[in-house]
Amino acid sequence: MTGGRIVIVGAGLAGANTALALRERGWRGPLTLLGAEPYRPYDRPPLSKEVLLGQPAEVDLDIDFEAHDIELALGRTATRLDVRARRLATDGGPLDYASVVLACGAVAVDLPGTAGLPHVHTLRTRDDAERLRPVLAAAGSLVIVGAGWIGAEVATAARAAGCAVTVVEAGPHPLAGTLPAEVAERLAAWYAAAGVRLRTGVAVTAVREGEVELADGTVLGAEAVLVGIGSRPDTDWLAGSGVPLDGSGAVLADARLATEAPGVYAVGDCASYPSARFGRRLLTHHWQNALDGAGTVAATLLGEPVSHDPVPYFWSRQFGRYLQYAGHHRPDDRLVWRVPDGAQDGPWSVCWTRDGRLTAVLAVDRPRDLLQGRRLVDRLAEVDPARLADPDVPLKSAAR
């Protein structure tokens, strides 16, 4: 099976695995994988864990690009897309294509007023992790802005390195945009137990060399600052291209991960897609979505019938716990606890239901709950509320 060149913009997990999936499904035409970073495609989860602490880690993706005849164009940034001419402009010259896959990922959101400050860091790339690693090795004072997933993981690594850590969160509790307060309270207790000072409900108003000022007038000493306040699709360069974007900057893809622009597809952190399962469009910045989407967009390019509607899944290691989440819950979904008697600090999980059907599960050191719950969410299984709330009943046995 051959044809015109396919260009994949973005050499992260989604882009690299899309290239691999195309070859494994029989595509024999020219295939170019464009990456802005100079590194061969790598995995991001180790960056906030082993890499920060200087521990051995398998970072590079296990893909033999040469053997699969995948052209790597690394250290090269996409600057403009001409949909009508089917031409991609880059800082290394133009690339003509028959089809282009947007796998350009997301970029960290900066804290206003901190651009160019040498002691202010974000953590999104391999270079970010390498710049932050000596900060942790120095075991100085670190202020982390944002009590989200990345903030908790960096706080965990920084405490392991001996840093004095303060986490500042403008919201009322950790993961305020993701979890309800009653669930987040359990996570907040972990910070204090790990020796991390957590300040919630207060915004950062200024960052200067050696200090961070908060809205309540508090000034925190900070030899370094890590900003972990979220990420946004890396799509500014698509302005005026005709590729449809939503208000967040995400590329609007359909269930096949095709866009309305001819010959343009999108996958991973930069793309939103309609979920029939959850009845809404989702933008999922997680590892599993990038991996699942790679197979979908490859199949679409090759004319195979396919629909992208996975159960969102992610995991995190923080403060000695292993958190896993599967599904998609809404703020008004019913919350059901699964906490063993007396297990104030042990394994636990929570579930969400809507109209009697399981929509999501968060498991803390209960991998079986996650595994079984994920399967139930996949089919939006109807569940028995009493059995769901009994931590001694396997989740699969709660299905009606």
Residue 332 resides in a domain: yes
d(CA 305, CA 291): 18
Claim to verify: residue 76 and residue 27 sit in the same structural domain: yes
Contact partners, residue 33, CB within 8 Å, separation at least 6: 8, 11, 15, 16, 19, 41, 65, 70, 71, 72, 73
Q: Which token pair is 374? A: 């994920």
CA dihedral 298, 301, 305, 309 (to 10 degrees): 50
Please indicate, yes or no, if residue 309 is contained in any of the structural domains: no
One domain, residues 220 and 157? yes
- Looking at the 3D structure of the chain, how many domains does it have? 3
Q: Report pTM.
A: 0.95
pLDDT digits (tens, 9 = 90+) for 69-80: 999 999 999 999
CA dihedral (19, 22, 26, 31) in degrees, to 10, reads -50
Q: What is the pLDDT of residues 154-180, one digit of tens each?
A: 999 999 999 999 999 999 999 998 999
For residue 345, the model assigns a pLDDT of: 79
Looking at the structure, tell me whether residues 289 and 376 fall in a common domain.
Answer: no
Cβ neighbors of 66 (< 8 A, separation 6 or more) are none
Does 324 reside within a domain?
yes
Q: How far apart are CA 157 and CA 55, in angstroms?
A: 11
Say if residue 220 is in the same domain as residue 193.
yes
CA dist 175 and 160 (Å) reads 22
* Shared-domain flag, residues 239 and 277: yes
Write down the pLDDT at residue 174. 96
Domain-located, residue 14? yes
Domain assignment present for residue 314? The answer is no
Mean pLDDT of 284-303: 95
Residue whose token pair is 């008004």: 332
Quick: pLDDT tens for 208-220.
999 999 999 999 9
Shared-domain flag, residues 387 and 248: no
Res 5: pLDDT? 97
Domain-located, residue 311: no
Domain boundaries, position 376: 320-398
- Of 194, 227, 260, the position where a domain reaches its end is 227
- Boundary (domain end) residue, out of 203, 227, 251: 227
Q: What is the DSSP string of 101-149?
A: EE---EEEPPPTT-TT-TTEE--SSHHHHHHHHHHHHTT-EEEEE--SH
Same domain, 371 and 292: no
Q: What is the pLDDT of residues 295-329, one digit of tens each?
A: 999 999 999 999 999 999 999 999 999 999 999 99
Both 46 and 32 in one domain: the answer is yes
Last residue of a domain, one of 170, 193, 227: 227
Q: Which DSSP state fits 184?
A: H
Residues 243 and 100 in one domain: yes
Is residue 134 within 8 A of residue 156, CB to CB? The reply is no
Q: Does 40 reside within a domain?
A: yes
Residue-wise pLDDT tens digits, 95-128? 999 999 999 999 999 999 998 899 999 999 999 9
Instruction: Answer yes or no: do 275 and 325 share one domain.
Output: no
The kind and range of the H/E element at 89 are strand 87-90
CATH number, residue 135? 3.50.50.60
How would you list the strands of the sheet with 251-252, edge to edge?
Answer: 251-252, 271-275, 280-283
User: 263 in a domain, yes or no?
Assistant: yes
Q: What tokens appear for 333 in the block? A: 């979904």
DSSP H helices in the chain:
13-24, 126-137, 149-160, 181-193, 287-301, 367-378, 385-388
Kindly state whether residues 188 and 45 are assigned to the same domain.
no
What average pLDDT does this structure show over 283-298?
A: 95
Residue 342 pLDDT grade (very low, low, confident, very high; cuts 50, 70, 90): low
